[in-house]
Amino acid sequence: MNEKKEFKPYIPAEKVTPELTVTSIIMGILLAVIFGAANAYLGLRVGMTVSASIPAAVIAMGVIRVIMKKNSILESNIVQTVGSAGESLAAGAIFTLPALFLWAAEGKMDKPDIIEITLIALFGGLLGVFFMVPLRNALIVKEHGTLPYPEGTACAEVLLAGEEGGANASTVFAGMGFAAAFKFIIDGLKAVPSEVSLKIKNFSGEIGTQIYPAVMSVGYICGPRISSYMFAGGVLSWMVLIPIIVLFGSELILYPGTTPIGEMFAKGGASAIWSSYIRYIGAGALAAGGIISLVKSLPLIVRTFRDAVKGMKGGASNGEVTRTSKDLHLGIVIGAIAVITVLIWLVPAIPVSLLGAVIVVIFGFFFATVSSRMVGLVGSSNNPVSGMAIATLLIATVLLKITGDTGIAGMQGAIAIGSIICIVAAISGDTSQDLKTGYLLGSTPRKQQIGEVIGVVASALAIGATLYLLDRAWGFGSEQLGAPQATLMKMIIEGVMDSNLPWGLVFIGVCIAVVVEIVGIPVLPFAIGVYLPVQLNACIMVGGLVRLAFDKMKGDEEKKKSVVSDGILFCSGMIAGEGLMGIILAIAAIVGLDKIIDISGILNLPPVVSNIGSLLVFGLIILSLLKFSILKKRK
């Protein structure tokens, strides 16, 4: 506790510099809209979005410091705070709302009104920000040094590198350049496959790794401990559960599958089994892990609220109230949450009953807490928002069915509840990363929270039009816009309403989470590992092993500390570089340039050669990290 009290941010609390300015607000809104649109397309096409916090910070730093010649790191931080809200809100919206368009295409309902989409996104985003206000002290301040918040820490390093210049800046920008180049080779030119998998003869399991620099960097920043828990969960799914399902169920047709498991495996391999069955087990493990995490966090949450209430009464919650400890007034926050809850119930455009509004508040705060802690461990890019949405949809749909709210009206209500919760989880995770950046830099929390609100409002106004344009251009569920998460959410709701959901798979996941907690392993990173593909977990594990090697180095402690620090700087740059290139490639895909730069058809390499090429690229990524950390020349 003493170390946490002694922490000093880059800008001292007693020093006042420009933060929430007209420049930072306008730039932030532009980035929020651009990142939101690009990520909506990317997520609907490939099922994943890219974190925009660090790209927004890099752009802000470039414009404010280089172009405008202003020396204001906190102003750049506000631009990043406002801008990153667009990506998070888009991620929450695209995982659920396209289900409404899919039902409309089937003739079950009319297309959702653009006002409905906007209000669902707005209310979910605002709740995500407001729920994080009382949690900031508990998760960001008191857990400083415990929860690493990889993107938040990396974002601060990027801004500090630009502020301080010199070798630190060169290390960060080298990481950006290398990662952007690797990302372009992998996902732009598609010169090599993005992952390598190993299949064993007469065994249904599969192991492998992705080769993305940002994913490996997350493992390095999180360290070997968290990385190993995630990898263990992935190994359980892909090397134990999938082989068992195939071995004993080869001739069975098990819902939600529609073909015999053996035939499904023969056509799609282990990935088909993971998509049809393991994701339900992972959703159950995540739901149980979330409940366990919330129960364990309750004392800290209660203390946080108690301190905040003392502050409202004029008492000092944590000693002297300084600029860097000022949050939005708790009375305003509680009032805003109450008003939003009533509006969710009463506004005709949102098909949610009073019970649904209550579910939104209870589960919204629950998943805001879980999401904030989870991204503190594994980063926003690996925050399984869709897993939380699955857990919410399961419970909400069951409750709605029990109370007689069935049919298409009940399904609309369930998807609206799930959408709001999904957006709450995404925004609260993003907000906590931004607040971590601000905590390290010395920003005023209240101004950051206002910035988040501005970013949410701007993004919500844009997301409805974006979804309509994409649906009109290609249609959700098409080859161009598969909308995998939204299709899964639709199937879950229909499964519950029609009483054919695979509850057995969900309860298996719950029991796995309980067993893991009993043996003393942190359940959330393990559950995330069960839910996510093993190739992603393995890539994170590689980064964790590199960090372990650095930590175990013998010799001078100062040199070891410097090597580890340089590695974090370089990995921060790699996360930023891949994020920026991801945005550029998303825009390229929107305007049709992706097929022009794709050379995979021209190369037409045999699978063995392609895999060797992927491993060589991955080796170069690791070598570049070594070059700018352990092999770096020091004066």
Per-residue pLDDT of 309-346, as tens digits, reads 564 454 444 456 789 989 999 899 999 999 999 999 99
What residues does 209 pair with on adjacent strands?
196
pLDDT of residue 66: 67
Question: Span 221-234, mean pLDDT?
Answer: 91
Question: With pLDDT > 90 as the criterion, what percentage of the chain qualifies?
Answer: 38
Residue with the two structure tokens 């839910």: 531
Dist. CA 162–CA 66, nearest whole Å: 9
User: Which three-class secondary structure state does DSSP give residue 292?
Assistant: helix
Tell me what the pLDDT averaged over the chain comes to. 85
Dist. CA 330–CA 336, nearest whole Å: 10
The crossing angle, in degrees rounded to 10, of helices 557-590 and 53-61 is 90
377: CB partners within 8 A, 6+ apart: 147, 148, 222, 226, 522, 524, 525
Per-residue pLDDT of 255-301, as tens digits, reads 888 899 999 999 989 989 998 899 889 888 887 887 787 677 677 66
Q: What DSSP assignment string belongs to 352-365? A: --HHHHHHHHHHHH
Please check whether residue 96 is in contact with residue 415, taking contact to mean a CB–CB distance below 8 angstroms. yes
| Domain chopping of the chain, boundaries | 2-475+498-627
Question: Span 180-199, mean pLDDT?
Answer: 92
pLDDT confidence band for 403 (50 / 70 / 90): confident
Dist. CA 24–CA 506, nearest whole Å: 45
Please check whether residue 284 is in contact with residue 508, taking contact to mean a CB–CB distance below 8 angstroms. yes
Residue type, 432: S
Dist. CA 507–CA 484, nearest whole Å: 23
172: CB partners within 8 A, 6+ apart: 157, 158, 161, 162, 569, 570, 572, 573, 576
